[in-house]
Structure 1
């Protein structure tokens, strides 16, 4: 019989401790009431357990595979090997003709032009065969183990991450030059320390991050159990490695048409695309397309030889970029803030009626609303607040109206404006870091970690949007309530 793949240098006492930590983590992530009642306390306890688990799972035998020289010289060699691999496996990708790699960009690694490139000129073309995809995952050893797993079919990003993880642990992997070129550390909030996450408290991005951490732990526990029970021999399934693989998948995955895609059967795969995923973010427009089994990217702007080639990652606000990719963009043209509003308690005598009225316009009693950079008040937020403060008498009149997104009454509009003011005030005062502290951090960035500086930048941008919304609300109130 093959050796169990979870056998690594751990004594019986250590294995018993690992089991205790895993059980404790499961109890924490399964306890929905304690999570929602105190997000900060939850994350402090969970991250302490995760630290203990990572320390306990340290496997000296795996260090040569997983730990690599982090010097500039070593990274440059890896990029050379990646270039050679692409020339061999993807000879028409335009490497060294239109583009090459750099390890000295402001963002770290990046793609630079080998010649002057005109706006809208094709600069990179990557064939499907060199991509790591959910399709190649299904054909892998991991895919065979998870072939009939219902949870995995619902989480293609996790399947992609598991595929990447075990390819990284395979010294003979076809994708080794690509995998070796991937970052080993990511500035993603789900990998922050508890102290750093505490600074994010009060931001809508904080709750999104906590949910990601919870999901990541639940999935790890789930697949840990599956791999432990499998008869297939694999390297150890360690939390730190899984966290890294999820970070890669989350920050770099792209959606591409599946091989059997047709107009009538529009199926997609997730893919990690070598070369293209080393392009850093630039504000602009999407210029990357999939055509004839290749992913092609065109220059957003004219680029001089030696300059960095940037691509636009799509219409994502700063919160999404921060949570899923670990950075924020100053003066982001498509920035917005997603706020969760819950202002209709179940104890409200009119709760059922209000829920019914909200349902007619496709809104729930607990609802998220997106406020753009200008601060313009969303019409669905206004209508939510109108219904949240509606009286029984006004409700009777309102239900007779044909236009369901209309004003209810003058008194209702006054109460609506007051409720919206309370919402914005509560959001502003809910931040742990005051505007003064944020300004001080950004004026003295050398005193703080890169993660803390990113948090401060995000909080300032979120507050700017909320301030703009409050100003518009003041004007709206003066015009609406007379």
Structure 2
């Protein structure tokens, strides 16, 4: 797991399309598993995601499984109490559940005459069989130490509590139809940027140093276009760090607003609907 709690870090080189993880179908949690559970009879008419959600809530609330509890009580009476000097005192249901979990997740069965075996350093042996598997494959080649981001984790609700994670990425571009596109691209590349540039705007932090100069460059035109002449090639970036003209600054504002509107258009709800849900005036 990555340092930020998101993504996976490769401990060895991984080839493209190489299987990284497999999970057998019998361990999947889906509407079929809900139907076969104790709550299956009352979830038949529900939407699939609701039935699975109820299943997860119920499973999470099971602090003590009745089957394990019965087994523990029998073992406690017949083995632990008469032989207390041989075991750490006291052995609790939590200890018993932990040991059961280790066996379920790491033991091998039917392994060349062995009915049950734990092998040091080998984890997950009990998870695999010839059943249908879910395979996690690497979409690209990864070098050892590289981190693979799990974008779905970010897209579907993981929230980082640190304020410096409250980030919006603003994507800007020099338009191909701009009559000065070539000159602007040369200036952008000279200053470490390109035809398209992304800037992370972090809540409570100053704007990225190159954001405003790039915006002013994108918006440069009209009577301000003289700054694109070769005579200013070595000094134009310094000029762009300050307002060029009123018209340029107004166009910069329109570019930012349009970029934000484009990003927000990807959401199914409107700003007004979100505000009403959050009770924001």
- Given the two structures, how large is their TM-score scaled by the length of structure 2? 0.47
- Which has the higher Rg, Structure 1 or Structure 2? 2
- Structure having the larger proportion of residues in helix: 1
Quick one: higher RCO (CA 8 Å, sep 6+), 1 or 2?
Answer: 2
